[in-house]
Structure 1
């Protein structure tokens, strides 16, 4: 069965080795025995997991958009909604997760739709706060495409509020960031908000 499954992952061996040592030390400090069967490979697994969860530091988001820019005279809203995102809160390094809704109004150039999702992924795969993440996505699209306006809304749940602290299981946080016509024209902003709240079947 193992011969039928081949998984490829790319990690820097030196970085993983150093992280592995630190996580082994952390487990010891917590009172665990890193030599027991269930934990022998845990420091390396966690090192690789953290490397994956923070892979956004090793990607240039502007280059993602600029690699797929096309001249187009379309001047209506382009919306990519319900983009799943998973990130780590920089305060406790616990996950927060949810959806991003991203729109822009082209000003001579459009980009591949998948690139919008990749921008969200790039910034989410870093230690974050939701407020900064929202602004970074907005600013990256504005800088790369120079559109007439950009709108970003993120709705997320934070494990640091659900697992620890106030332990409020149903809490959710919404953040928004706008530029250009989304700021100056309330009708355009309302159209965006209506579209992201509409559920397609």
Structure 2
């Protein structure tokens, strides 16, 4: 995800490139009022840069992501009567508008067709898209589209609930609200009863009648 002509810390970056970004951060922190240079803050620019690098590791992909198996359906490959739901899957992301964190829980479900996905891979998929600069709506869309492409299932459901620090620390400073987003594909989009069952399995019974 490297933009043409712009420096990147992804891949093999020389030490002087890291140092240059740390120096920029030191200048910014000092302008904001942080007394950089004390025993407690001397390494703050380096720590902050490393923390950002770790928080955006989703740009590097995940080679262990896709492990698919044949379905456990007996008598055929049509599993449309059964859904697989995983969650809550905790996630942390950085809002691309203010670079402040938003975090919460993801619930992912699908109706298998000819194959199923290793359950740990659903967690890996959530973390892949969450560990980038993003917005909640995009993460849900990416999860739904990726599962649709990987599994070719009968249907996909994604429900995210998150708290956004950009609304709590700044702006309206709303400390009580959370944001919920849902994405439906295939049979979930067509069947309100199936969506209600998904919400019930997610422990979101209050939403079961509003799918």
TM-score higher than 0.5 here? yes
- Alpha-carbon distance in 2 for matches of 1:32, 1:109: 54
CA distance in 2, matches of 1:32, 1:116: 40
Quick check: 1:134 aligned with 2:140?
yes
Q: TM-score, normalised by structure 2?
A: 0.82
Query: Structure 2 CA distance, aligned partners of 1:109 and 1:13?
Result: 40
Secondary structure of the structure 2 residue equivalent to 1:151? strand
**Which stretch shifts more, 141-150 or 12-21?**
12-21
Aligned to 1:117: 123
Give the TM-score of the pair, scaled to structure 1: 0.86
| Stretches of structure 1 lacking an aligned partner (at least 5 in a row) | 1-10
What are the equivalent positions in structure 2 for 1:10-159 lying under 5 Å apart? 14=14, 16-60=18-62, 64-66=64-66, 68-74=67-73, 75=79, 76-159=82-165
In the alignment, what sits opposite 1:8? none
Partner Cα distance (1:43, 1:177) in 2: 38
1:73–1:108 contact (8 Å) kept in structure 2: no
> Residue by residue, what CA displacement relative to the aligned partner does 1:174-194 show, whole Å, maximum 9, x if unpaired?
001010000112221111112
Structure ranking higher in helix proportion: 1
Which segments of 5 or more consecutive residues in structure 2 lack a partner in the other structure?
1-10, 74-78, 206-211
CA RMSD of aligned residues (A): 1.9
1:146/1:102 CA distance change after superposition, 3 Å: same
